[in-house]
């Protein structure tokens, strides 16, 4: 790609960024980075752009080291250069994040609308629909780069080309992307948008779904963590209640921050909510220590706020807590308790895993553990069996 072509690509990418709704600040950063790249190429007499040239530019101009975790600023610069490289190779750009507006070519819109309606009809929640839209947008971007202007023009060659297009993603993301493409092509074949059903030609990407054993903490570890919380101040009262909801009931971070007053049924001693991840209703007993901690926070710790969420920030404006703050909260207390070891997770999910492990040790049946953790099926919960080899052997013997 010559410098002239680089400048043209930069203009095209800028138009794409504006179209899909990136912020003015992001586009300004893109403009400045690519301006520096052109100056770098001019200074060194480089006539052709490649991703290697881009990495050299980052290393010499911005001290980027590929062996180290990049700063957020350098990560953005690297993404800009990857965009240039992707356009050079495929004539399109892979969206890496869920931008606000999903761009669907006009000739694909009718089929896409029908496909998404089918997904909703079979019970796919809106949060998952947005992920499907992202995967389809990547597929459509690739097709546009191959001058495919109608669904009926899609061929097996395009499917194979798309495999190369997404090679930079993890195997898990690639597998999920291809599954969506497979489902979309099956819909198009069955509903007359394509003369053939090409879904059988979309391969699976195999990866080890159970490669990692979840991090867990013992009952004593959890008690040590809880004892560190200073419950004599308002923030401590809030944090203690949050930690109990995660460690005693196994709630996910987003469900904790979204917990509202109407989700707690004090007379019946239960909590009932719609899970953010699955969209399924989850009902759990309101354990005595959990209930008392929540009451203590509401009566003596929670600042006055119009927010309907139980847990709020303790700095103005007193609005809802965010999930990332839950991670920081849990991680901080795990660190203070001295529970960190190499390779061990330190977030709220580790507390969920720990609860599953304890339930398993108490011989709680797997379907019951699935219900407590809010899993859609026991296959998801089965990963926790890897924590306790003795229980895994018992299960294997029972099956035999």
| Same-domain status, 86 and 111 | no
Q: Over the stretch 198-246, which tens digit does the pLDDT of each residue have?
A: 999 999 887 665 545 557 788 889 899 999 999 999 999 999 999 999 8
Two tokens, residue 287: 């354990």
**Residue 97 in this model has a pLDDT that exceeds 60:** no
Of 50-59, 175-184, 202-211, the poorest mean pLDDT is in 202-211
| Same-domain status, 183 and 233 | no
| Same-domain status, 9 and 152 | no
Question: What confidence tier does 291 reach under pLDDT thresholds 50, 70, 90?
Answer: very high
pLDDT for 347:
83
Number of domains forming the structure of the chain: 3
When pLDDT is averaged across residues 20-28 and rounded to a whole number, the result is 81
pLDDT for 208:
63
Q: Which of 174, 201, 228 is the last residue of a domain?
A: 201
pLDDT for 389:
43
| Same-domain status, 116 and 26 | no
Residue matched to tokens 């892979």 = 94
Of 25-29, 201-205, 207-211, 278-282, the poorest mean pLDDT is in 207-211
| Same-domain status, 249 and 382 | yes
Q: Which CATH number covers residue 47?
A: 1.10.150
Flag whether 18 is in a domain: yes
357 half-sphere exposure, CB direction, 13 A CA radius: 19
| Same-domain status, 316 and 179 | no
| Same-domain status, 114 and 194 | yes
| Same-domain status, 259 and 308 | yes
**Residue 60 in this model has a pLDDT that exceeds 50:** yes
Distances (CA, A) of 162 to 154, 178, 227: 11, 9, 53
Flag whether 299 is in a domain: yes
Flag whether 269 is in a domain: yes
Question: What confidence tier does 400 reach under pLDDT thresholds 50, 70, 90?
Answer: very low
Instruction: Say if residues 323 and 253 touch (Cβ distance below 8 Å).
Output: yes
Instruction: Say if residues 95 and 134 touch (Cβ distance below 8 Å).
Output: yes
Two tokens, residue 346: 């330190």
Flag whether 395 is in a domain: yes
When pLDDT is averaged across residues 121-145 and rounded to a whole number, the result is 87
| Same-domain status, 293 and 327 | yes
Flag whether 97 is in a domain: no
Q: Which of 133, 168, 201 is the last residue of a domain?
A: 201
As beta bridge partners, residue 281 has 274
Answer yes or no: pTM beyond 0.75.
Answer: no
Q: Which CATH number covers residue 297?
A: 1.10.443.10
| Same-domain status, 37 and 121 | no
Sign of torsion, CA 123 259 323 353? negative
When pLDDT is averaged across residues 359-364 and rounded to a whole number, the result is 68
The residues assigned a catalytic role are 252, 277, 349, 352, 375, 384
**Residue 334 in this model has a pLDDT that exceeds 70:** yes
Q: Which of 62, 90, 118 is the last residue of a domain?
A: 90
Instruction: Say if residues 29 and 76 touch (Cβ distance below 8 Å).
Output: yes
pLDDT for 126:
79
Domain region containing 72? 3-90
pLDDT for 122:
85
Residue matched to tokens 């690509």 = 9
| Same-domain status, 82 and 119 | no
Flag whether 213 is in a domain: no
Calpha distance 87→279 (Å, rounded) = 37
| Same-domain status, 290 and 356 | yes
Flag whether 146 is in a domain: yes
Q: In what order do the strands lie in the sheet with 264-265?
A: 264-265, 270-274, 281-285
Exposed (0-12), middle (13-18) or buried (19+): which is 362, by Cβ within 10 Å?
exposed
Flag whether 211 is in a domain: no
pLDDT for 114:
94
Print the SS3 string covering the chain. Answer: CEHHHHHHHHHHHHHHHHHHCCCHHHHHHHHHHHHHHHHHHHHCCCCECCHHHHHHHHHHHHCCCCCCCCCHHHHHHHHHHHHHHHHHHHCCCCCCCCCCCCCCCHHHHHHHHHHHHHHHHCCCCHHHHHHHHHHHHHHHHHHHHCCCCCHHHCCHHHHHHHHHHCCCCCHHHHHHHHHHHHHHHHHHHHCCCCCCCCHHHCCCCCCCCCCCCCCCCCHHHHHHHHHCCCCCCHHHHHHHHHHHHHHHHCCCHHHHHCCEHHHEECCCCEEEEECCCCCCEEEEECCHHHHHHHHHHHHHCCCCCCCCECCECCCCCCCECCHHHHHHHHHHHHHHCCCCCCCCCCCHHHHHHHHHHHHHHCCCCHHHHHHHHCCCCHHHHHHHHHHCHHHHHHHHHHHC
């Amino acid at each position: 790609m010559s410098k002239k072509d680089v400048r043209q690509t930069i203009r095209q990418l800028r138009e794409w960024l504006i179209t899909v709704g990136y912020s003015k600040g992001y586009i300004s950063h893109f403009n400045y980075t690519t301006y520096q790249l052109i100056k770098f190429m001019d200074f060194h007499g480089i006539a052709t752009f490649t991703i290697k040239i881009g990495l050299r530019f980052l290393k010499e101009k911005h001290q980027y080291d590929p062996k180290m975790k990049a700063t957020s600023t350098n990560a953005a610069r690297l993404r800009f250069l990857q965009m240039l490289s992707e356009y050079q190779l495929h004539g399109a750009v892979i969206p890496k994040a869920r931008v606000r507006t999903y761009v669907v070519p006009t000739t694909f819109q009718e089929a896409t609308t029908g496909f998404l309606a089918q997904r909703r009809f079979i019970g796919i929640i809106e949060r998952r629909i947005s992920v499907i839209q992202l995967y389809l947008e990547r597929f459509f971007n690739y097709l546009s780069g191959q001058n495919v202007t109608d669904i009926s023009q899609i061929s097996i060659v395009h499917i194979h080309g798309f495999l190369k297009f997404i090679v930079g993603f993890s195997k898990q993301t690639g597998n999920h992307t291809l599954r969506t493409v497979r489902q979309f092509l099956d819909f198009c074949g069955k509903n007359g948008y394509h003369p053939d059903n090409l879904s059988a030609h979309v391969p699976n990407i195999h990866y080890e779904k159970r490669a990692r054993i979840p991090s867990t903490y013992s009952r004593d570890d959890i008690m040590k963590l809880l004892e560190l919380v200073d419950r004599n101040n308002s923030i401590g009262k809030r944090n203690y209640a949050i930690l109990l909801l995660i460690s005693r009931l196994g709630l996910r971070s987003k469900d904790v921050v979204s917990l509202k007053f109407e989700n707690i049924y004090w007379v019946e001693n239960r909590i009932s909510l719609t899970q953010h991840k699955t969209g399924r209703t989850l009902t759990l007993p309101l354990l005595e220590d959990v209930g008392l901690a929540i009451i203590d926070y509401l009566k003596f710790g929670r600042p006055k706020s119009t927010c309907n969420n139980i847990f709020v920030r303790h700095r103005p404006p007193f609005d809802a807590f965010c999930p990332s703050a839950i991670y920081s909260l849990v991680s901080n207390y795990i660190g203070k308790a001295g529970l960190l070891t190499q390779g061990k997770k330190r977030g709220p999910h580790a507390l969920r895993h720990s609860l599953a492990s304890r339930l398993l040790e108490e011989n709680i049946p797997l379907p019951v553990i699935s219900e407590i953790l809010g899993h859609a099926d026991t296959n998801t919960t089965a990963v926790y069996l890897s924590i306790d080899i003795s229980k895994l052997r018992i299960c294997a013997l029972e099956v035999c």
